[in-house]
Amino acid sequence: MVMDSEKAITVARHLLKHRESEQPRLARIAAYMRGQHDSVYVPNGAKAEYRWLIERAKVKILPLVVTVVSQNMYVDGYRPKGSDNNAEPWKVWQANRLDARQHGVHRAALTYGASYVVVMPGKPVPVITPYSPRRLTALYADPVNDEWPIYAIEDRVENTGNGKRRVVRIYDDEARYTLVGKLDGSSLEMDGKDAVMRHDLGVCPVVRFINTDDLDGDGVLGEVEPLIDAQDQLNMTTFNLLMAQQYAAFRQRWVTGMAPPVDDAGNPIEPFRSRVDGLFVAEDADTKFGEFGQTDLKGYLDSREATIRHISTLSQVPPYHLLGQMVNLSAEALAAARDGLDRKIDERESLFGEGWEQALRLAGLAAGNKEAWEDTAAQVVWRDTSARSLAQTVDALGKLVTMLGVPPQELWERVPGVTQTDVERWKKAAEQGDAMNRLDGIIEKQMDASTQSQQIAPVPDVAA
C-alpha cells in the first residue's frame, strides 16, 4: 500500500535519525581520502614554520590503495547460462552508461564498505542510478541475509532559483516518495504532484554492494578505515623527517672565546656571513671554531618505507605500487608479488558480481521482462586484468587449442586487453569467413562435377 503524506514524513524522520549514526564515520573516511588527516602534535606557542611543515607532512597514500583494486575490476558482460551472448538486460546497462559509471560504485564500496544502485522504471529503458552511502542509506530487517531492504532513504541538497533546499526521497516496495524542506530538516513536506512515483516492482528497488561479507551484522568495513592509524604513523614519520631536514640536516658551525659584536643600539649581531669564498677570522688567540655533524636522514627514510610496507601487507597491495620500486622483476616474480592482490580482487568480484546480477535482474523486471527477472543463473563477466605477458598468454591458449582440442573462439575472451565488443566482432568475422569458405566449397564441387561430366561424355562418330 502506498504511504500517505503523514506516514511518509514519519518514516523519513525515523530513517534520517538512523542515518545520523553512521555519518560521522563516513565523513572521517571521506576526509582522509581527500587528504584532510588528523594533525600531528602541535605544542603551545608553535611557530608558523612548525605549522607550515605540518601541512606538508601528509603522504596521501590511501586513495592509491583504493585505486589499485578498483582499476582491476571491470564488468564486461552479462551472460545467461550456456550462452555466449549477453542477456537482454545488458541493453539497460549500456543505455545507463554503466561501462564508465560502474567504477564509482566499486570505488565507493571499497572506500566506505558499501555502495548502492537504485533501479527505477523509465522510458525507453529503466534508469539505474549509483549512490554513495553518504547520500543513501538502506534499512534491512536482517542486514546479513535479506536480499532486499525494507526502506531506503536518499538525502541531498538541491540548488533552486531562490537558494538551496533539502530533498529527501524514500523508497519502499511500491513507490518512491519525494519530500522537500529546509537544510536543517526542521520542516519536511511532500513535493507537490511529483511527490509519489509508483514502480510496483514488489521489492524496494535498491541493491547494496558490500566490500566484505560480515555474518555478525556488525557493519561493513571498507579498505580505508583499517589503514587510518598507519596513515597517521606515516604522516608523523614524514613530519619528523621534514623537521630534521629543516633544522639539522646541514652542518652547523660554532665559535667560542669571542664576544659577539653589537650594533649602535647594543643588540648582538651575527659576526660572520658564511659563503664559499669567505674566511672566519678572530683577533683573540683563545677563539676556537668548530662544527656539529649533520643529522643522518636514513633512519627516517627507512622508517617511512617500513610503514608503507606495513600498509602494503594490510591492504594486500603489492609494495611496488606504493613505493614505486620495480627493478628487473621477471614474469614469475611479478605474478608472485601480485598473488595477494589477485586473490583479493577475486573475492571483490564475487561480492560485487552478485550485486550487479541482482541489479540487472531487477532492471529486467522494470523493463517488463519477467523471464530476465526469474533468470537466477545468469552471471556477469569480469575482464581479465591479470599481469601476464601477451606472448605467454597466447602461447598457452594456442597449446589449449592444439593439444586439448579447445575451440579457439572459446578462448578469445582470455586474451589480455580484449573487450566483449572485440570478441563479438571477431565472431561475426569468423562466421562470415566460414560462410564464404562454404560457398567456395560449393562452387568448387560444382565446377569439379561439370569438368568430370565433360570428360566422360561419349565422342560423336564423325564418319557416321
pLDDT digits (tens, 9 = 90+) for 188-239: 888 877 789 999 999 999 999 999 988 887 788 999 999 999 999 999 999 9
d(CA 101, CA 97): 6
pLDDT digits (tens, 9 = 90+) for 382-424: 987 776 666 667 777 788 788 878 787 777 776 766 766 777 7
d(CA 249, CA 243): 9
Q: Which of 36, 115, 87, 37 is nearest to 379 (CA)?
A: 87
Mean pLDDT, the chain, rounded, equals 85
Q: Which of 284, 283, 261, 264 is nearest to 273 (CA)?
A: 261
Global pTM? 0.79
* C-alpha distance across the termini of the chain, in Å: 103
Q: Which of 106, 83, 89, 94 is nearest to 421 (CA)?
A: 94
Distance of CA 248 to the CA centre of its chain: 41
d(CA 185, CA 165): 9
Domain ranges of the chain: 1-142+207-248+298-387, 251-293
pLDDT digits (tens, 9 = 90+) for 259-275: 777 888 878 777 777 67
Question: How would residue 440 be classed by pLDDT, with cut points 50, 70 and 90?
Answer: low
Question: How would residue 429 be classed by pLDDT, with cut points 50, 70 and 90?
Answer: confident
pLDDT given for residue 49 in this prediction? 84
pLDDT given for residue 197 in this prediction? 92
Q: Which of 228, 244, 296, 233 is nearest to 53 (CA)?
A: 244
Scan for cell 669571542, then name that residue. Answer: 258
Distances (CA, A) of 164 to 133, 183, 188, 308: 22, 7, 14, 43
d(CA 218, CA 5): 33
Counts of helices then strands in the chain (DSSP H, E): 14, 13
Tell me how crowded residue 298 is: count the other CB atoms within 10 A of its CB.
8
Q: Is 79 helix (H, G, I), strand (E, B) or coil?
A: strand
Helix (H) or strand (E) holding 54: helix 48-55
pLDDT given for residue 464 in this prediction? 45
| Cα dihedral: 300, 303, 309, 313 (round 10) | -150
Cell numbers for 275: 659563503
pLDDT given for residue 439 in this prediction? 60
User: In this predicted structure, which of 44-58, 361-375, 417-431 has the lowest mean pLDDT?
Assistant: 417-431
Long-range pairs for 426-432: beta carbons < 8 A, 24 or more residues apart: 427/84
Residue 310, C-beta contacts closer than 8 angstroms, at least 6 positions apart: 230
d(CA 396, CA 75): 24
Distances (CA, A) of 335 to 122, 252, 313, 318, 428: 45, 49, 16, 10, 34
pLDDT digits (tens, 9 = 90+) for 77-134: 999 987 878 899 999 999 999 999 999 999 999 999 999 999 999 989 999 999 999 9
Average pLDDT over residues 346-357: 94
Q: Are the beta carbons of 15 and 137 closer than 8 angstroms?
A: yes
Q: Are the beta carbons of 114 and 209 closer than 8 angstroms?
A: yes
